[in-house]
Amino acid sequence: MIKEVHLVLKPKQNNEESIKRIVASTLKIPLERIYDIEVVKRSIDARKRPVYRLLTQVYIDESKPKINYLAKYKNVSKGKPVHIIGAGPAGLFAGLKALELGLKPIIFERGKDVKSRRRDLAAINKEQLVNPESNYCFGEGGAGTYSDGKLYTRSKKRGDIQKALETLVSFGADTAILADAHPHIGTNKLPQIITSIREKIIELGGEIQFNSKLTDLSVDNDKISSITINQSNTIEVNHLVLATGHSARDIFELLYNNNILIEFKPFALGVRVEHPQALIDIIQYSCDLETGRGDFLPPSSYKLVSQTKERGVFSFCMCPGGIVAPCATDQEEVVTNGWSPSKRNNPFANSGIVVEVTEKDLKSFDKHGPLKGLRFQQEVEKNCWIAGGKTQHVPAQRMIDFIDNKTSSDLPNSSYIPGLTSANLNEVLPKFVSKALRQAFLNFGKKMKGYLTNEAVLHAPESRTSSPVRIPRDRDTLQHPEIKGLYPCGEGAGYAGGIISAAIDGQKCIEKISEGVKNGS
CATH code of 23's domain: 3.30.70.2700
Q: Are residues 329 and 415 in the same domain?
A: yes
Segment 242-246 shows an average pLDDT of 96
Is the pLDDT reported for residue 92 higher than 70? yes
Query: Same structural domain for residues 475 and 359?
Result: no
Owning domain of residue 163: 80-263+469-518
**Residues 465, 352 contacting (CB under 8 angstroms):** yes
Structural contact between residues 108 and 85, judged by C-beta atoms closer than 8 angstroms: yes
- Is the pTM higher than 0.85? yes
Closest-CA residue to 85 (of 501, 489, 499): 489
- Mean pLDDT value across the chain: 95
Looking at the fold, whether 381 and 503 belong to one and the same domain comes out as no
Q: List, for residues 317-356, the tens digit of each pLDDT value.
A: 999 999 999 999 999 999 999 999 888 999 999 999 999 9
**Burial (0-12, 13-18, 19+ Cβ within 10 Å), 422:** middle
Specify whether 252 is located in the same domain as 319: no
Quote the CA–CA distance of 235 and 237 in Å, as a whole number.
6
Phi, then psi, of 427 in degrees rounded to 5: -95, -10
What is the CATH number for 124? 3.50.50.60
Q: Are residues 280 and 364 in the same domain?
A: yes
Residues 477 and 378 in one domain: no
Q: How far apart are CA 196 and CA 172, in angstroms?
A: 8
74 belongs to a structural domain: no
Residues 298 and 398 in one domain: yes
Q: Is the domain of 477 the same as that of 383?
A: no
Residue 68 lies in a domain: no
Rounded to whole angstroms, what are the CA distances from 377 to 254, 274, 334, 389? 18, 22, 11, 19
Q: Is 130 part of a structural domain of the chain?
A: yes
Residue 321 domain flag:
yes
Plot region of 410 (φ>0 → left; ψ -120 to 50 → alpha; else → beta): beta
Residues 201 and 274 in one domain: no
Looking at the predicted structure, is the pLDDT value of residue 121 above 90? yes
State residue 152's pLDDT score.
Answer: 72
Q: Examine the pLDDT at 425 and tell me if it is beyond 80.
A: yes
Do 185 and 285 lie in one domain? The reply is no
Q: How many domains does the chain have?
A: 3
Please write the tens of the pLDDT for every residue from 267-297: 999 999 999 999 999 999 988 777 778 889 9
Within a domain: 235: yes
Select from 345, 352, 341, 353 the least CA-distant residue to 293: 345
Q: Is the peptide bond preceding residue 461 cis, with omega within 30 degrees of 0?
A: yes
Residue 342, pLDDT score: 87
Shared domain for 225 and 311, answered yes or no, is no
Neighbours of 275 (CB within 10 A): 23
pLDDT surpassing 90 at residue 149 = no
Q: Are residues 394 and 514 in the same domain?
A: no
Q: Which of 462, 487, 506 is the last residue of a domain?
A: 462
